[in-house]
Chain A
Amino acid sequence: MLEVLSPGVYTSIQDQGRLTYRSYGVPISGAMDSYAFEWANALVGNNQHEAAIEVMYGGAKFKILEDVTVSITGAPMTPKVDCEFVSMWTPIQLNKGQQLSLKGTNSGVITYIALAGGVDSPEYLGSQSVYEKAGLGRRLKKKDRLSIKSNHVLQSLNIPHREIPTYTNEVTLRVVPSHHESLFDELSIKAFYSTSFTVTKGDRMGALLKGDQAIELRKPVDIISEAVTFGTIQVPPSGDPVVLLADSQTTGGYPTIGSIMTEDLWRMTQIPPNGKVRFKRWNLR
């Protein structure tokens, strides 16, 4: 069992998400960086559907109330147990009375803490992923207590060293073009795929981007609301693109320029404010 001493900026329980309620307007939520999330579970022998603690922007601190094995993956938040630095991407044993703390980070944004046996928390619509806006759970607060869901764990895996990502503040991501692409000005499309964009602001709903020039339409159009997804890049009238992330709405009425390839999504979620992103046009066929 763990007690939250400090929740940091935004810390919440997340699992693989609520994948079957989009037609009812419920965002999928779930772990933003599925790569680090899945490894966090694997390292302590959890099933992939177990929930973990997602720490966004750092600053979280926990007190260990019962001995537990955990793994910490994702952005390097220099974890410490009491005064000692501990390794990430490997299982670590925490003992009753110890304190686990995560700092902020200059590279990456999100870190996962998986507990062997999974984290116990209420399930809403088939998932433990927190989505506060609709009352589907809430972020962690000081004094919250987290228990382990089960004592049953599988064989834990080791991560090969080369599979541990370096969280750089400049990434290139593949984008599947949207059917709205032809609505955009040709020079804007060219600029979109040849210049870099700075992340100005981000949360679990989306990341706001700013480029050298605004991305413009050939002429103003009315878009009829249609399905969007985690990774869809919308362009509101300001011309500054917005990348929709795990907690985004299920439908949108802004023109979209494309959607980031699923495999590349986790890199997008780990770009900190002022980090840069470039896009590469990617045809599926």
Chain B
Amino acid sequence: MQKIFPLNDQSITVSFGDVIDLNINRNAQQLYRKILELNDPYIIDVVPTYTNVTVFFNHKLISYNEMEDKLKGLIEELTSQSDEVKTKIIHIPVYYDGPDLERVAQYNHITTDEVIKRHVDGQYQVYMIGFLPGFPYLGGLDEQLATPRLNQPRPKTPAGSVGIANHQTGIYSVESPGGWNIIGYTPISIFDLEKEQPFLFQAGDVLKFYEISKLQLDEGQQPEVEWLDENY
């Protein structure tokens, strides 16, 4: 059952649950797309997260109550129909030579080769974008790779660092302080202002990693993208 509540006087959140779950996230994604399709001038921004969708609206054009009623109407429509959506799969090259690769291996009592194999074998759902511009929150990390954050965060983690924090894996989009275990680096820019579409990922995408050599890292690489038809 959905819950609907204010974030503040000019934004409303719809919540589909309180656990990280693919189906709950798909519900949120579905509502997110529906709101975008409205393309209404009173909608300023829409933010999908793991379980929620938050709408920021222009209070000069629509009242809180009217906005809430609109959302309730859209939620009704959701339950009665399913979306046909193309899933975007993005393949990300990684040179697995991070300073914490050994730490992740030791913590999980496996070899570093096994860490790489398991990380490459995974298929990761982009549940949401947050923390840093373009930073994907990914679901689907192998249980055998889960490793607690570093006790002492690093003052600088370079953009392109691929890391693990507890049950999550992610890629740093910009240089930032951080406590993630860094297992490797990707030459792909996931946030690039020079590009027409500066953000590589969107909530709803699927991500897969593949291993590259130091030489390939230094040469630079392009992400590979494929599309899959899927019925939600």
Contacts and interface: CB of A to CB of B under 8 A. Distances in A.
Contacts of A227: 7, 11, 13, 47, 49, 52, 54
A226 B131 CA distance: 11
A262 interface: yes
A192 to B, nearest CB: 17
Interface stretch (B15-23, B106-114, B178-186, B213-221): B15-23
Contacts of B198: 24, 125
Contacts, number: 113
A226 B133 contact: no
Contacts of B5: 179
Contact of B9 (A22, A24, A228, A262): A262
Contacts of A83: none
Contacts of B131: 25, 225, 249, 251
B74 interface: no
A1 B214 CA distance: 49
Interface residues of A, number: 35
A124 interface: yes
A162 B135 CA distance: 46
Given A24-B199, A25-B134, A125-B198, A225 B7 contact: no
Contact of A23 (B18, B47, B51, B173): B47
A25 B132 contact: yes
A189 interface: no
Contact of A251 (B44, B49, B174): B49
Contacts of A136: 193
A228 B49 CA distance: 11
A121 B198 CA distance: 20
A125 to B, nearest CB: 7
A136 to B, nearest CB: 8
A48 to B, nearest CB: 12
Interface of B: 3, 5-11, 13, 15, 18-20, 32, 44-52, 54, 56, 59, 64-65, 128-135, 137, 173-174, 176, 191, 193, 198-199, 202-203
8 contacts: A23-B129, A25-B131, A25-B133, A125-B193, A225-B128, A226-B13, A226-B52, A249-B131
Closest 5 A/B residue pairs (Cβ): A251-B130, A227-B54, A259-B8, A227-B47, A179-B5
